[in-house]
Structure 1
Amino acid sequence: MNSTGKKLKIAIIGSGNIGTDLLIKAIHSEYLECSLFIGRDFKSAGLAKAISLGIKVSDRSIKAIEENPDVCDLVFDATSAKNHEAHWDILKKLGKPVIDMTPAKLGAICVPSENLQEASLSDNINMITCGGQASIPIACAIRRAHASEQLDYVEVVSSIASRSAGPATRANIDEYVETTEKAICQFSGSKKSKAILILNPAVPCIDMQTSVTVKLEKVNLELLKKEVDATIAKIQKYVPGYSLLLPPTFENGRVIVTVKVQGNGDYLPKYAGNLDIINCAAISVAEEFSKRKFGV
């Protein structure tokens, strides 16, 4: 609970689905206040939604912050990997910390259940990808349950509703794969990793499902189940729709765990868990900034 009543001023660049959902989540947060919502076109659905909620908006992209740095304490960049590179050059000079929602690979990689406090000390925090946020905690749970073993290979397959994959997601598929694989190895200590993203066109739309497969010679299923259950409980504190679909299973030298992510339905449909998990993770990081700033 925010005993001080003070809120961190945030600006959101990008008025698409991710940016608009972030806006709604920020409005619901007791630690954050959206002082500026930024896009490029006043006719966009995102800016129209923000205006209807009484939020200050701009169609001047990064220039809106460049011309008025005091408008915010922290920035969410919900544009694209390419745009973030240019934005970060400007924000760094302005001394504005940024939470990067794109797979740009510039900042400190963050999975809140694993390294929230450490990563939030950085001025540029990368939220990896939806597949990374869903899978890395499970890969880390498997590692913790088998601390004496070297993980040789981790494979992550995420299936999401095709309708939940917007233009930015589709344009950044290569960056998605590269960023997810790098983060999996970094957090799990695995020698190799493979990330696969499936856009499922099924109607009605499916919830996000992510399967994590790890090669192991032996497995301690009892300990692993405890680690996975504890990990899921930790994630549910900031992603309520995160749940276990297939408990740890061991066969043919492989451990398999499958999770499901259903969205909160704040702005996006509940089936868009792939967008919800990365946004919930980002909001938890921003709230950590706020708590530190105001001594909560």
Structure 2
Amino acid sequence: MTRAKVAVIGSGNIGTDLMIKVMRLSDSLEMAAMVGIDPTSDGLARARRRGVATTSDGVQGLIAMDGFGQIDIVFDATSAGAHVRNAAALAPFDKRLIDLTPAAIGPYVVPAVNLGQHLGAPNVNMVTCGGQATIPVVAAVSQVTPVHYGEIVASISSRSAGPGTRANIDEFTETTKAAIEQVGGAARGKAIIVLNPADPPLIMRDTVLCLVDRLDADARAAVVDSVERMVATVAAYVPGYRLKQAVQFTDVDATAAVRTLNPDLAPAPRTQVGVFLEVEGAGHYLPAYAGNLDIMTSAALQVAERLVARSEAAA
């Protein structure tokens, strides 16, 4: 089988981990180029040692490379602002872009939830690490009962947050909130990220809280089943993704002040669904505590392989 050639823009932690995943795990993708702006970066050095073509001249260096015309898919693992510029530079060349930044130029894609809906889009957005970890759970709950409010808290080790992540905190919360609503199905969403400086570093932890109508025993069982099936779906491409404890249910009285969460809600008995997750990294390039980066690269790899499978099926 002929492999589709891919390029990775961004030679930092995420881009380097993604490169290694492509080379180790994929039967349908071939690393054609690693692109950075720092000629001394470890990502570019590792790519050169593996025989991958490199440039430290950014996206313009990629465009000027021999073999650029044969590249099918470009991953962007830079920053939100840089992706806007990179996408504009690549627009004339008809490449498929997979955006691992919070720029959100293209539609949000969470593979376990909506990958099949956006395979024809020229530029798909992988939301954020917190979004990839938590939106599947919001979607699982919304498959059983309407989610009036969905809140997620992503707690990651500060050591796993590089310059791009730190520069994009605002974009993280805004993009994740929008995707909780648009992909997860919540009427209102909220996202919070915590950079935990604990030493030794802690593995990524995520909390998902969904406010729904009052659930009886049968509905609670249906929610548990839906969440557990969704967790298994994500774990199929992110092996370190797991429930930390059983799904929790807390009844909320009709007198509770939930209009601060969703002003459209009339007083009524509700139930809060609490789901607690842990994401351990696979250790391909990053330490196990960097599950936040591992889930992003694993999800992006899923998208690229599905794009290739779709193209082959259509040929």
Query: What TM-score results when the alignment is normalised by the length of structure 2?
Result: 0.89
CA distance in 1, matches of 2:51, 2:95: 24
2:156 maps to which of 143, 156, 160? 160
Aligned residues: 289
CA distance in 2, matches of 1:74, 1:242: 26
Correspondence for 1:277: 295
* Equivalent residues of 1:6, 1:294 under 8 A apart: no
Partner amino acid, structure 2, of 1:126: N
For residue 246 of structure 2, give the secondary structure of its aligned residue in structure 1.
strand
Partner amino acid, structure 2, of 1:257: V
Deviations 1:3-42 (A, max 9, x none): xx22110001110000000000000111110101111122
For residue 95 of structure 2, give the secondary structure of its aligned residue in structure 1.
coil
CA distance in 2, matches of 1:178, 1:215: 20
Deviations 1:148-187 (A, max 9, x none): xx32211101111110011100000000000000000112
CA distance in 2, matches of 1:187, 1:74: 24
Correspondence for 1:185: 181
Correspondence for 2:234: 235
Query: Cα RMSD over matched residues?
Result: 1.3
Pairs within 5 Å for 1:1-296: 5-28=1-24, 29-68=26-65, 69-146=68-145, 150-219=146-215, 220-253=219-252, 254-295=272-313
CA distance in 2, matches of 1:256, 1:197: 17
Q: Percent identity?
A: 43
Quote how far apart the aligned CAs of 1:132 are: 0.4
Quote how far apart the aligned CAs of 1:230 are: 0.8
* Equivalent residues of 2:135, 2:183 under 8 A apart: yes
Deviations 1:48-105 (A, max 9, x none): 1111222111111111232243141110011111111111112221111100010001
User: Would you identify which runs of 4 or more consecutive aligned residues in structure 1 move more than 3 Å?
Assistant: none
Partner amino acid, structure 1, of 2:96: P
Q: More deviation in 39-48 or 21-30?
A: 39-48
For residue 40 of structure 2, give the secondary structure of its aligned residue in structure 1.
coil
- For structure 2, list consecutive stretches of 5 or more residues without a partner in the other structure: 253-271
Partner amino acid, structure 1, of 2:206: T
* Equivalent residues of 2:99, 2:126 under 8 A apart: yes
CA distance in 2, matches of 1:16, 1:170: 13
CA distance in 1, matches of 2:126, 2:105: 11
* Equivalent residues of 2:76, 2:83 under 8 A apart: yes
Query: What TM-score results when the alignment is normalised by the length of structure 1?
Result: 0.94
Greater Cα radius of gyration, structure 1 or 2:
2
- For structure 1, list consecutive stretches of 5 or more residues without a partner in the other structure: none
